[in-house]
Amino acid sequence: MNESIEARIDRLQKGGIVDMHFDLPMDLYEKRHSRDVLVTEFLSEFEAGHISVLGAAIYIEDRYLPQNGLRVALDQIARLYAETGTSERFAICKNFQEIRAARETGKIAFLITMEGVEPLSTDLNQLRVFYELGVRSIGLTHARTNAAGHGGIFAANGSSTEGLTAFGRAVVQECEALGVIIDLAHINPAGFEETISLTTKPPIVSHTNVRRYYDIERNISDEQIKMIGERRGVIGVNSILVSPRQEESTLDHYVDHIVHIANLIGIDGVGIGFDFFEFIYRQWPESRQKDLAAKFTTPHFISDLTNHSHARNLTRKFIERGLSDVDIEKILRGNWLRIFKELL
Ligand SMILES: [Zn+2]
């Protein structure tokens, strides 16, 4: 076969790309006084990158807590419904059949996810309400401690050594009962292990990097990668914590994270969780950027992988690195679709 590299990229991209972590609802909420934000600011990038399923993450910033966590979460969901309702190109999906139907009709499917359970306070009934609104994946914590557990910190050690709280354990059990995918991104190592021991279904880590290349407890160790692999889960690789050094934050090194996971647990255990964040970061004043660096870390963006239109660059890099079509398609979509089919 004498197929050009561009034709091969086209063919691989055409089946669509699944990205399990995108901070879209937060941005739509901040722009709640504008209309058609999704169509005017995002659609062309999604189309250029052949994005077919996006994990749209509800996340509540510190400044809204504790009083307004619930309200801001509901407003984020409201904006997502309002904005997706303006175009035939989008669908909010609650199960695998809806995802499949969206893909067959060329729509971009959103799966609503929650990053940190602050919106629930300590009320399991609110988990049921968010489920009814469409939330289908939940990570108990972001970096901070909350009513469910403790986040992994942006350092090689020093996170809380405690696991989940009683509420955290109840949330995990209720998620499994309802059919909400449990996401182990951000949780501290003790909470990670406890969640694995409490559950039976395949776990996911929607967006993370490997500690081998960026050794912080927010990222995932070889031992943790193997725990996910043993349970047939999937790990989405993050584009913003690829290296502590800017000069090593490259597309090649992003692929190194994917290859490392595949070497440990097989190609079926790795997917995409880009966590594109530059578009939010550049809207911030310098004082907030400094605040982020002080609290967590300075994000190092990969210049040719900063938004969804760049997905094609990744596919090209996979080809250059010698990955087979079958493996590329598993990473780009197949592995996440298997999880949706099994769990939703
Ligand atoms: Zn995150």
Distance 311 CA to ligand 1 centre (A): 19
Which pLDDT tens digit goes with each residue over 233-284?
A: 999 999 999 999 999 999 999 999 999 999 999 999 999 999 999 888 989 9
DSSP 187: B
- Residue whose token pair is 């602050």: 118
Distance 116 CA to ligand 1 centre (A): 9
Rg, C-alpha atoms of the chain = 19
Distance 341 CA to ligand 1 centre (A): 24
Which pLDDT tens digit goes with each residue over 135-172?
A: 999 999 999 999 999 999 999 999 999 999 999 999 99
Distance 275 CA to ligand 1 centre (A): 7
* Structure token digits, residue 214: 């960026």
Distance 186 CA to ligand 1 centre (A): 7
Mean pLDDT for 55-81 is 97
Distance 5 CA to ligand 1 centre (A): 33
Q: Give the separation between CA 272 and CA 323, rounded to whole angstroms.
A: 15
- 149-172 as b/e: b if 16+ CB within 10 A: bbbbbbeeeebbeebbbebbbebb
CB 187 within 8 A of CB 148: no
Q: Note the residue count of the chain.
A: 344
- pLDDT value at position 295? 86
- The torsion defined by the Cα of 273, 278, 283 and 288, in degrees rounded to 10, comes to 90
Which pLDDT tens digit goes with each residue over 86-131?
A: 999 999 999 999 999 999 999 999 999 999 999 999 999 999 999 9
- 99-114 as b/e: b if 16+ CB within 10 A: beebbeeebbbbbbbb
Q: What is the residue-averaged pLDDT of the chain?
A: 96
Distance 112 CA to ligand 1 centre (A): 14
Degrees, nearest 5: CA angle 25-27-32: 90
Candidates 168, 169, 183, 173; CA nearest to 136 is 183
Distance 291 CA to ligand 1 centre (A): 16
Among positive and negative, which fits the CA dihedral 95, 100, 103, 105?
negative
Distance 3 CA to ligand 1 centre (A): 38
| Strand residues in the chain grouped as ranges (E) | 17-22, 51-58, 90-92, 108-115, 135-139, 181-183, 204-208, 234-237, 270-272
Distance 207 CA to ligand 1 centre (A): 7
Q: Is the pLDDT of residue 41 over 70?
A: yes
Which pLDDT tens digit goes with each residue over 167-209?
A: 999 999 999 999 999 999 999 999 999 999 999 999 999 999 9
Q: Is the pLDDT of residue 74 over 90?
A: yes
Distance 62 CA to ligand 1 centre (A): 14
Q: How many CB atoms lie within 10 A of CB 32?
A: 14
- pLDDT value at position 190? 98
Which pLDDT tens digit goes with each residue over 297-328?
A: 888 999 999 999 999 999 999 999 999 999 99
- pLDDT value at position 298? 85
- pLDDT value at position 25? 98
* Structure token digits, residue 238: 């993050």
- pLDDT value at position 244? 95
Confidence of residue 228 (pLDDT cuts 50, 70, 90): very high
CB 124 within 8 A of CB 68: no
- Residue whose token pair is 């919106």: 119
Percentage of the chain surpassing pLDDT 90? 94
Distance 185 CA to ligand 1 centre (A): 7
Q: Which H/E stretch holds residue 309?
A: none
* Structure token digits, residue 10: 């086209």
- pLDDT value at position 1? 62
Distance 176 CA to ligand 1 centre (A): 21
Distance 6 CA to ligand 1 centre (A): 33
